[in-house]
Amino acid sequence: MQSLEAELEQARTLDVDALADAIESIGFECTRCGACCTGEAEDDHTATVFPDEVRELQASTERDWRDVARPMPYGLADGEDGPEGETFEWALQTDGCGDCAFYEEDDDGVGACVAHDDRPLICRTYPFSVALAGTSQPMGEVVDSVALGAQQEAGETGDEEGVVRAHECEGLGRDIPRADAEDLAAALKERAVRELEEAIGVRDTYEPTPVESGEVVVHDSEGAKQADGTPIED
């Protein structure tokens, strides 16, 4: 497996035009169904958000850290008073129904993101992802993938590195204007680079940290934090 640094170099050289070609060939138009902002059956909505994105959302929505993000639940134990243990990274906070805390429905049941202009990269790029090791995949199952230009010319398809993946979404397959595909492609590249920078930051700053019973410690690229985003000092 390639090092994260090699993956980051690959992400930095991704060709936005080729990404836009792949997005255009799959096709996408948001139908505003809200499926990517809500939980599913037993599973709460889970979408990775970077620490600086949490602060941007805090600033634009005037919410506390805990109202924007929650510790990524994977690996946490069920304690008497809720999750406890050590985890990596943050997920967008959820409401009592397991939906994203920024998703609100009007009286007619039409949903919208109240942080739309400041929504994190994972939301701006859904339902697409780039299949590089070290990048995160959104919740939905992969339903399509397209190789990038050079790979296509070489006859490579499927699970080749660098493919653009599409995750389940009712808006897939619809015509997308070129300008929108290019905007999405640029955001997709930015997200792949940011995810790898974050993964390298977590690896380099990680230090095992004692966790009190009933507490959660979150390791992100800035170090260890409490569940309310406060840094844990040495």
Site of interaction with ligand SF4 (CB under 6 A):
37, 47, 92, 100, 102-103, 113, 115, 119, 123
Minimum CB distance to ligand SF4 smaller for 119 or for 191: 119
Least distance between ligand SF4 and beta carbon 109 (Å): 15
Minimum CB distance to ligand SF4 smaller for 93 or for 221: 93
| Contact criterion met (CB below 8 Å) for 221 and 51 | yes
Minimum CB distance to ligand SF4 smaller for 113 or for 202: 113
Strands 82-88 and 216-220, how do they pair?
A: parallel
Least distance between ligand SF4 and beta carbon 21 (Å): 25
Minimum CB distance to ligand SF4 smaller for 53 or for 86: 53
Least distance between ligand SF4 and beta carbon 134 (Å): 22
Q: What are phi and psi of 60, to 5 degrees?
A: -80, -25
Tokens of 128: 């697409």
Q: What totals of helices (H) and strands (E) does the chain contain, helices first? A: 7, 12
Least distance between ligand SF4 and beta carbon 102 (Å): 4
Q: Which amino acid is at 133?
A: A
Residue reference for tokens 């243990």: 85
Cα gap 38→29, rounded to integer Å:
18
